[in-house]
Amino acid sequence: MTYLAKPKLHHPSLVQNKVCRTRRDYEGRVSTLCAGCGHDSISAAIIQACWEMDVEPHRVAKLSGIGCSSKTPDYFLGNSHGFNTVHGRMPSVLTGANLANRSLLYLGISGDGDSASIGIGQFAHVMRRGVNMVYILENNGVYGLTKGQFSATADQGSKSKKGVVNSDTPIDTISLALQMGASFIARGFSGDKQQLVPIIKAAIAHKGAAFIDIVSPCVAFNNHPGSTKSYDYVREHNEAVNRIDFIPTREEIVVDYAEGQVIEVEQHDGTVLLLRKLHRDYDPHNKIGAMNYIAKHQAEGEVVTGLLYVDNDARDLHEHLNTIEAPLNTLTAQHLSPGKAALDKINQRLR
Amino acid sequence: MNAQLKPQQISAINDFVVKFANVNGSGSASANELFAKAILRMGVPVSPRNIFPSNIQGLPTWYEIRVTEAGWLGRRGGVDLMVAMNPQTWNNDVKEIEPGGYLFYDSSKALPASRFRSDITVIGMPLTEICNATYSDARQRQLFKNILYVGALSVMLDMEAGVIEQLFTEQYKGKEKLLDSNVQALHLGRDYATKHIGRIALTVQRADKVGDRIFVDGNSAAALGCVYGGASVCAWYPITPSSSLAEAFQSYCQKLRVDPDTGKNCYAIVQAEDEIASVGMIVGAGWNGARAFTATSGPGVSLMTEFLGLAYFAEIPITLINVQRGGPSTGMPTRTQQADILACAYASHGDTKHILLFPEDPKECFDHAAAALDLADRLQTPVFVMTDLDIGMNQRLCAPFEWDDAREYDRGKVMTAEELESGRDFGRYLDVDGDGIPFRTYPGTHPSKGGFFTRGTTRNAYAQYSEAGPDYLYNVHRLLKKFDTAKTLVPQPVIRAAAKATRFGVLYFGSTSPAMHEALEALEAMDLHLDAMRLRAFPFSDSVVEFIDAHDQVFVVEQNRDAQLRGMLVNELEIAPARLPKILHYDGTPITARFITTAIAEQMRARSRP
């Protein structure tokens, strides 16, 4: 399966999106991950979301750290520039890249070892800074590439494939990102594409630090009885707070849900999210409420999914820094060098 | 002072050392700087050095000013006039004075005779007493004590009061109240000294030896070089002695880099959470086509090394300014050394080598910072500017900054959308010109061409995934070729020939420069002749080999324990170690001409013996 090259020819009847591209234009190389890996479903959801959003593939920069999840940017958006950086340090590279050119869409792909263990510092700080990005954490609670060690998101009491029981407290990346100031927070499940694709689309439209934690079972090392990140466990314990429909700005909004069940969330760019609320008491604009809700349901062993928090008026790092609209990487000596006359004045003051 | 016991007195005009012993945080630094600047304004070169602890308030701090009409800007060693304002360090401060020297102190509280020396001239002035009598505010009492001693010294050394007043006028423009009170304090000190102390045999005499030179610290100069060199992204983490560099960049940018039409910034500065993040950010920015730099010191470089390896292999332009200090983290953060040479030249895992530039003074900090940004883009690799605390944090007299408005930035080999569209072959790691430097594309350039996946070394010349041996070898050999190309692009060594033909040479670099130049003159006066070469970069140019080959013995002068640069000469150029005798200074103080002269003279005489 993974060693077979994909045929290059496109079927003429494949549907094109508004930027005249078919879904195939959003694909990457053939995945080298294990068959059934949750990460491949996430890649497929990213492809679908980008195609449906009419994103131009070359206007995306996809960055990752090190690990199974971090290999995946090679498997989608083959025409985009990608950067497989350093273990746990994707957030800093993404931040710098974003500073250099604010006009691209930044996709950060990471895993639980990458973000919650070695990279928890950079994970926290990139959220604090409000870097405009879509940060996807493919969370399987385990180190796959090094064969089955626990990561920091593994639940206390969960069992590794070798039978070892994890005694450390897990890090809940959702709660952490909320606390650190991310302005769009969602959790999905790689096995539920219906819920996941609209979440990714909404995150792309969001301006600010958008974080999606996606529970993504590891079929090789964390899909056995006793694991809390297996397909079976998540399906049994999934507690979806809402289902999103994502409506781009130019389309007519058609609400087909009964009043009281659906709320409209208008995003900064004019796009609208329709949240089909599964829980009447859940308000995604209430940060403290979200924290409580997540903590309460987590204590009950439930995996809360859906759009958990969104701040539509979020400011991003460039707004904080008051940077010029033109990408910094396009500025020439004319903008950057203050010139000889200014230097002569400086010299004069230093005498 | 009893006239009969008056010891012999050092007599000198425009050639002596004054040292101020103060308490950190007492406001002395600005008064001492005022004193140094006043001498400069009288046309006499000075070379001041802050000797300070890792502390904000309370610990001892010193400010040493070498007054030198001859223009020797290295540290001389020894003290002719000690201004002893710190009881904690009194004994050592008094001990440090040259025989025949002078001690100026606050005599408000009587001290037993045993605390003084008989071979120096002791001058007391009741500073605290005068201040307490004149000022009621505690802060004023403290601050004006410093201005009072500047006033007294100006009388003792025959300095012009008008020059100091002029400096006050410039400093307190628009703050007339502060101006008046400072001028008043100055004259309070001058009047007392005129009446009770008088002149000593050390004299500042108006001269014309400063010329159009400027007086600036290397950190500000390097920051300005980054502004002019076109850096638009700076990520940094505070670490002594480099913090003031990033802060200077911020303040220059606020003045010089704001778009007049929109009021928006043509720069982005982020104080990162640590040095791993700061280097990660500039790697991201460099990858994405912005000129990016960080300023740091040794411990910061240690944290950055994993990224440095990636940047080397992934060929990402970044500039790092390492203001070197003593190591490790709790080592000597406020003392100077050249001890990160090896750590930077070969930073990271795997076979890596990095470009290093060695500025000698603030002027070259400016030039090298701007040059580093060009070199990083041209060579697509990390470039280090290796300054140190001695240049970085001390104001130094140097040539004025220069900039040619016609200068364009060298952005290196970047393939454009038009070139890609025309069908030009793009291999991210393909050596198309034979110089080892491939083309790159910025993300977002072309809808269907030129995109690539950046990773370490597991790829072929077209950036496709590969773990094949031949692909790896092609790549690392090309990187070596690129490093060879760098030899001709970096600042070339500067040679200074001896007055007489000689079989001895000396190699030196960075902040050693002024002390070395002075030592060469002193050695020449002793009829010891050496050709000298100042290295300005690694990789070493071919002229370095030629220079070494032209001499039997070449001394290598460094400010570190392990002769790090010499080790690189031995390894990179395959020079027999015995031909490169070491001259090493590494106690945390700046190297002196006296030290170099003595060490080289001894070795030359020993080696000249049959």
Q: What is the pLDDT of residues A160-208, one digit of tens each?
A: 888 889 999 999 999 999 999 999 999 999 988 888 999 999 999 999 9
Least confident span in A87-101, B312-326, B328-342: B328-342
- Please give the Cα distance from A94 to B310 (Å, whole number): 15
Are B221 and A347 in contact, with CB atoms under 8 Å apart?
no
String of b and e for B175-200 (b: at least 16 CB within 10 Å)? eeeebebbbebbbbbbebbeeebeeb
Architecture of domain B494-608: 3-Layer(aba) Sandwich (3.40)
Residues of chain B positioned with their CB less than 8 A from the CB of A91: 277, 280
In total, the C-beta contacts within 8 angstroms joining chain A to chain B are: 229
Mean pLDDT of all residues in chain B?
A: 95
pLDDT band at A54 (very low <50, low <70, confident <90, very high): very high
Are A298 and A70 in contact, with CB atoms under 8 Å apart?
no
- Of residues A218, A239, A240, the one with CA closest to residue A301: A239
Please tell me whether the peptide bond between B328 and the residue prior to it is cis, using omega within 30 degrees of 0.
yes
Composition of chain B by helix, strand, coil, percent to 5: 40, 20, 40
Structure letter (DSSP) for residue B3: G
Collapsing DSSP to helix, strand or coil, A348 comes out as helix
pLDDT band at A255 (very low <50, low <70, confident <90, very high): very low
Residues of chain A positioned with their CB less than 8 A from the CB of B454: 81-84
Task: Tell me the mean pLDDT in the region B269-298.
Answer: 98
How many residues are recorded in chain B? 610
The verdict on a CB contact (< 8 Å) between A100 and B285 is yes
What are the sequence ranges of the domains in chain B? 3-203, 216-398, 417-489, 494-608
The verdict on a CB contact (< 8 Å) between A323 and B402 is no
Q: What is the pLDDT of residue B610?
A: 61
Q: What is the pLDDT of residue A283?
A: 86
* Unique residue bearing structure tokens 């040493």: B64
pLDDT band at B594 (very low <50, low <70, confident <90, very high): very high
Where are any strands of DSSP class E within A146-208? 149-150, 184-189
The verdict on a CB contact (< 8 Å) between B447 and A336 is no
Q: What is the pLDDT of residues B361-412, one digit of tens each?
A: 999 999 999 999 999 999 999 999 999 999 999 999 999 999 999 999 999 9
pLDDT band at A263 (very low <50, low <70, confident <90, very high): low
Q: What is the pLDDT of residue A237?
A: 86
Q: What is the pLDDT of residues A265-290, one digit of tens each?
A: 666 666 666 666 667 678 889 999 99
Of the options 3.40.50.300, 3.40.920.10, 2.40.128.20, 3.10.20.30, the CATH number for the domain spanning B3-203: 3.40.920.10
- Of residues B317, B321, B299, B294, the one with CA closest to residue B385: B321
Residues of chain B positioned with their CB less than 8 A from the CB of A29: 465
Say if residue B282 is exposed, middle or buried (CB neighbours under 10 Å; 0-12, 13-18, 19+): buried
Of the candidates A81, A99, A340, the beta carbon closest to that of B403 is on: A340
The verdict on a CB contact (< 8 Å) between A340 and B405 is yes
| CB of A24 less than 8 A from some CB of B | no
Of the options 3.40.50.300, 3.30.360.10, 3.40.50.1100, 3.40.50.970, the CATH number for the domain spanning B216-398: 3.40.50.970
A161 or B5: which leads in pLDDT = A161
Q: CB count, 10 Å around CB of B38?
A: 25
| CB of A343 less than 8 A from some CB of B | yes
- Please give the Cα distance from A144 to B134 (Å, whole number): 76
Q: What is the number of H-type helices and E-type strands within chain B?
A: 19, 23
- In A, residues 52-91, which contact B (CB 8 Å cutoff)? 56-59, 61, 63, 73-74, 78-86, 89, 91
As a whole-number percent, the residues of chain B with pLDDT over 70 amount to: 99
Of the candidates A78, A91, A322, the beta carbon closest to that of B265 is on: A322
Residues 6+ apart with CB under 8 A from B188: B130, B134, B144, B148, B151
Residues of chain A positioned with their CB less than 8 A from the CB of B458: none
The verdict on a CB contact (< 8 Å) between A97 and B288 is yes
Structure letter (DSSP) for residue B237: -
pLDDT band at B321 (very low <50, low <70, confident <90, very high): very high
A10 or B8: which leads in pLDDT = B8
Task: Tell me the mean pLDDT in the region A296-325.
Answer: 92
Q: What is the pLDDT of residue A97?
A: 98
- In B, residues 423-442, which contact A (CB 8 Å cutoff)? 441-442
**A101 → chain B, closest CA residue:** B288
pLDDT band at A226 (very low <50, low <70, confident <90, very high): confident
- In A, residues 264-323, which contact B (CB 8 Å cutoff)? 317-318, 321-323
Task: Tell me the mean pLDDT in the region B137-141.
Answer: 92
Q: What is the pLDDT of residues B68-97, one digit of tens each?
A: 999 999 999 899 999 999 999 999 999 999
Collapsing DSSP to helix, strand or coil, A21 comes out as coil
Q: What is the pLDDT of residue B376?
A: 98
**A72 → chain B, closest CA residue:** B453
User: Testing the interface with B: which of A55, A337, A347, A349 to mutate, by most B Cβ within 10 A?
Assistant: A337
Helix-helix angle B218-228:B243-256, to 10 degrees = 40
- Please give the Cα distance from B510 to A306 (Å, whole number): 59
The verdict on a CB contact (< 8 Å) between B444 and A333 is no
Of the candidates B216, B224, B273, the beta carbon closest to that of A121 is on: B273
Please spell the DSSP secondary structure of B401-457, one letter per residue. Answer: P---TTPPP---SB--HHHHHTT----TT--SSSSS---B--TTS-SSSS--EE-SS
What does each C-alpha distance from A333 to A338, B233, B349, B408, B434 come to in angstroms? 8, 14, 35, 7, 29
pLDDT band at A10 (very low <50, low <70, confident <90, very high): low
Residues of chain A positioned with their CB less than 8 A from the CB of B288: 61, 96-97, 100-101, 104, 329
Q: What is the pLDDT of residue A25?
A: 93
> How close is the nearest chain B Cα to the Cα of A263, in Å?
36
Q: What is the pLDDT of residues B487-542, one digit of tens each?
A: 999 999 999 999 999 999 999 999 999 999 999 999 999 999 999 999 999 999 99
pTM score of the predicted model: 0.94
- Residues facing B206 on adjacent strands: none
Q: CB count, 10 Å around CB of A121?
A: 16
Which CATH number is associated with domain A23-349?
3.40.50.970
